[in-house]
Amino acid sequence: MAGSGGAGRVAFVLKGYPRLSETFIAQEIAALERRGLPILIVSLRHPTDSQVHPIHAEIKAPVVYLPEYLYNDPLRVLRAWWRARRMPGYAGARAQWLRDWWRDRTANRGRRFGQALVLAAELPSDVVRLHAHFLHTPASVTRYAAMMRGLPWSGSAHAKDIWTSPPWELREKLASCDWQVTCTATNRDYLDTLAPPGRVELVYHGLDLQRFEPDPSPRAARDGHSADDPVVLLSVGRLVEKKGTDILLDALALLPPELHWRLVHVGGGPLRKTLQARAEALGLDKRITWSGALAQQQVIALYRGADLFALASRIAGDGDRDGLPNVLMEAQSQGVACVATDVSAIHELIIDGQTGLLVPPQDPQALAQALESMIRNPQRRQALGQAGRLRVSAEFGLSSNIERLARKFGLPAASGTPSA
């Protein structure tokens, strides 16, 4: 099977699909399908979210789910091994897995090889390339399966997969793949120290500006003086350590008591009960709405009703961190002024004092001062919000970035774009 550009079908290997927190992957797949790339989605896990975004309904690619835990489907794994062991690349893949397992003797490492057996055995014959989203577990499964089948593989690296993986593993995977893209210059610069020259390329996720058309209605000039019309703060992100929601709560607790605001938080996660308890202990619970995970259209409506967006990202204890959070681009696309921490690649999007405000991570006092200054000054919020919107439109649109990715998959230049 081939697309209009002549590229063969590509199997995209994802950790889970569909996921509300990974709209950037769904956006990319949908855009590449529109460009003519035939895709098969391979998911290592079944979905856990109760909702999906509208963009998931636009994706036409079939989805194959590998056994999440091998003991749940031992016959499928055994049949896969029986077929895969006859493949020319099986011995090399098994030897590579044993070397990896010797350095990382975990159940997860064993599961990766079992899933790779199933992927290699069941992969349709028209698939000409494997492509892993995330450089940790999905790339391991992809690499082993590609070796067995004698196929090229490539990948997209993002955040946690880079910063929580040991250098030896990143170095070997980067040497093994055809090419790798990553979504921030910060990521690229680090991976360049481990990869063969020219192996890693920067391709921003980009934002689908047709899906995130700016809100034409004027924003209210709230300044925190009215208890009946408080300034609306919005924060979107999973409730995990790296998002720094506890730091945001501590900062909000430092705001002057006469300042009127309310916070809407979007996103679920394992720390929800802990953070709700913290908010209550700080006396903030009546000012906060915990919305949980929401579909994209619901989140867009919240962007349009917000006065200020806040994100307190930090480097977690295990090294996990954000890359360039898409939610910042989404908020700015709607003209919402952003206050964020200067972590990882956030400064590649937000220019401090020009298109938003940046503060040091894990500094509730500095974050509180920035929030207070923005709450009290609706004119500055308006100016920074519009400057942010213009920057996203000019530098972080989806179309130009997806074209670079389409070329790497072998698609010809789209009509009206210059050839590579």
Indicate if the pLDDT at residue 252 is higher than 90. yes
pLDDT tens-digit readout, 7-24: 689 999 999 999 988 889
Residues 261-289 have a mean pLDDT of 97
Residues 358-362 have a mean pLDDT of 98
**40 within 8 A of 10, measured Cβ to Cβ:** yes
Is residue 398 very low, low, confident or very high in pLDDT (cuts 50, 70, 90)? confident
pLDDT tens-digit readout, 294-311: 988 999 999 999 999 999
Indicate if the pLDDT at residue 1 is higher than 50. no
Share of the chain above pLDDT 70, in %: 97
Distance in angstroms (rounded) separating the CA atoms of residues 318 and 68:
24
Distance in angstroms (rounded) separating the CA atoms of residues 26 and 204:
14
- 309 φ, ψ (degrees, to nearest 5): -110, 140
Would you state the pLDDT for residue 255?
98
Predicted TM-score (pTM) of this structure = 0.84
Q: What single-letter amino acid sits at 112? A: R
**12 within 8 A of 29, measured Cβ to Cβ:** yes
Would you state the pLDDT for residue 7?
62
**CATH classification of 9-206+397-408 is 3.40.50.2000, yes or no?**
yes
Strand partners, 264: 234, 289
Of residues 180, 211, 190, 161, the one with CA closest to residue 24: 211
Would you state the pLDDT for residue 416?
59
Output the CATH code of domain 231-395: 3.40.50.2000
SS (H, E, C) the chain: CECCCCCEEEEEEECCCCCHHHHHHHHHHHHHHHCCCCEEEEECCCCCCCCCCHHHHHCCCCEEECCCCHHHCHHHHHHHHHHHCCCCCHHHHHHHHHHHHHHCCCHHHHHHHHHHHHHHHHCCCCEEEEEEECCCHHHHHHHHHHHHHCCCEEEEECCHHHHCCCHHHHHHHHHHCCCEEECCHHHHHHHHCCCCCCCEEECCCCECCCCCCCCCCCCCCCCCCCCCCCEEEEEECCCCHHHCHHHHHHHHHCCCCCCCEEEEEECCCCCHHHHHHHHHHCCCHHHEEECCCCCHHHHHHHHHHCCEEEECCCCCCCCCCCCCCHHHHHHHHCCCEEEEECCCCHHHCCCECCCEEEECCCCHHHHHHHHHHHHHCHHHHHHHHHHHHHHHHHHCEHHHHHHHHHHHCCCCCCCCCCCC
Q: The tokens 């609306």 sit on which residue?
A: 232
Indicate if the pLDDT at residue 405 is higher than 80. yes
**CATH 3.40.50.2000 residue ranges for the chain:** 9-206+397-408, 231-395
- What is the distance in angstroms between the CA of the first residue and the CA of the last residue of the chain? 25
Q: In terms of residues, how long is the chain?
A: 420
Would you state the pLDDT for residue 220?
85
- CA quadruple 213, 219, 222, 226: dihedral sign: negative
Is residue 419 very low, low, confident or very high in pLDDT (cuts 50, 70, 90)? very low
Is residue 5 very low, low, confident or very high in pLDDT (cuts 50, 70, 90)? very low
Indicate if the pLDDT at residue 268 is higher than 60. yes
Label residues 283-311 b or e (16+ Cβ within 10 Å = b): ebeebbebbebbbbeebbebbebbbbbbb
